[in-house]
Amino acid sequence: MPPQFNTRPAHLPLGERQNSRFYGQHIVSVKQFSRLDIEHIFTIAEEMRIMVERVGTFDLLKGKVLANLFYEPSTRTSSSFTAAMERLGGSVIPISEVKYSSVSKGESLPDTIRTLQSYADVIVLRHHEKGAAEIAAKYARKPVINAGDGPGEHPTQALLDLFTIREELGRIDGLTVTMLGDLKYGRTVHSLAKLLALFNVTVNYVSPDILRMPAELVDELDGRGLSQSQFSALEAVLPKTDVLYVTRVQKERFDDLALYESVKGAFVITPETLKIAKQKMIVMHPLPRVGEISMDVDDDPRAAYFRQMEYGMYVRMALLAMVLGKA
């Protein structure tokens, strides 16, 4: 049975803002969000930014506990959720090395989730299997936030990506977004493309042949009216691009490492590459980068990938406050 995204678990304490959007809900897929929801999340993220700039840390989630459960490596997602929770006055149970937890003794995901929800009010989960967040949500009485399920989705990243675009370029409608790199296994582009389908944008996919956007996803988004085109060379689309979204080839998803080696360096952005790009455009990357963007690009004002990380914390603060009924 699929998780009941819109059902508030009955046990959640009274006295919180139960009518607030997303109170007590799991965040598993970007498909849960409407344009109005996105506007709402962004408004709260803006408020979070102002509060962090003014006071640094405040007590909105004082007494609340987040369990950060990571079965796959992470720097930004894990630490930005921790920072988000701590800046809101809450605390964090960090399980970022599952090999030191009972997972290495063979504990199942449902049992690990049952355990953590006995101690925490919200669970952030990253897992190597597509669909893992949905399974966790099925067993959880507390909100589960998907922080990446294998090559599936990464909804909080897509929200922060969209927030970055809006903050940097002032709008989303009317833009041309070019996604580059590993579009087959990259969960960030899967979620971002789905979210962009809510807007009036043009999306270009540029990748090696074997790393194209999955056909089922392209078909689904076609059905939702998203304007999409596939290319094998970046030069064809770069001059018209407003957002160049670069991704890492996801080495950990390849069974055949020789195949990975054959595509890993297919696209590298350098200052030379950007000569044909607009002056008012941005280069994004969910990070980590492993050579897809040369370090000489970092000082270009169009390089938005480090600013993108910071926006992530405000968006995650907003989401935590919302699912815990405090926004």
Binding site for ligand NCD (CB under 6 A): 76-77, 148, 154, 157, 187-188, 248, 286-287
CB of 242 to ligand NCD, least distance (A): 21
Measure the CA–CA gap between 39 and 258, rounded to whole angstroms: 44
For the chain, the distance separating the N- and C-terminal CA atoms, rounded to the nearest angstrom, is 30
* Dihedrals phi, psi of 53, to nearest 5 degrees: -65, -35
User: DSSP letters of 146-174?
Assistant: EEEETTS--HHHHHHHHHHHHHHHS-STT
Q: Which is nearer to ligand NCD, 142 or 248 (CB)?
A: 248
Q: Which is nearer to ligand NCD, 166 or 248 (CB)?
A: 248
**Neighbour tally for 166: CB within 10 Å:** 18
CB of 38 to ligand NCD, least distance (A): 19
Measure the CA–CA gap between 192 and 284, rounded to whole angstroms: 12
Q: Which is nearer to ligand NCD, 61 or 160 (CB)?
A: 160
Q: Which tokens go with 173?
A: 């409608």
Q: Which is nearer to ligand NCD, 87 or 248 (CB)?
A: 248
Q: Which of 170, 177, 172 lies closest to 278 in space, CA to CA?
A: 177
CB of 285 to ligand NCD, least distance (A): 8
Where residue 98 falls (left for φ over 0; alpha for ψ -120 to 50; beta otherwise) is alpha
Q: Which is nearer to ligand NCD, 190 or 326 (CB)?
A: 190
Measure the CA–CA gap between 274 and 271, rounded to whole angstroms: 5
CB of 148 to ligand NCD, least distance (A): 5
CB of 155 to ligand NCD, least distance (A): 11
Q: Which is nearer to ligand NCD, 188 or 241 (CB)?
A: 188
Q: Which is nearer to ligand NCD, 40 or 187 (CB)?
A: 187
CB of 96 to ligand NCD, least distance (A): 13
Q: At 231, is the secondary structure helix, strand, or coil?
A: strand
Q: At 267, is the secondary structure helix, strand, or coil?
A: coil
Q: Which is nearer to ligand NCD, 73 or 271 (CB)?
A: 73
CB of 225 to ligand NCD, least distance (A): 26
Please list the alpha-helical segments (H only) found in 126-256. 132-139, 155-169, 187-196, 215-223
CB of 118 to ligand NCD, least distance (A): 27
Give, in degrees to the nearest 5, the angle at Cα 146 between 111 and 10: 65
**Neighbour tally for 100: CB within 10 Å:** 9
Q: At 246, is the secondary structure helix, strand, or coil?
A: strand
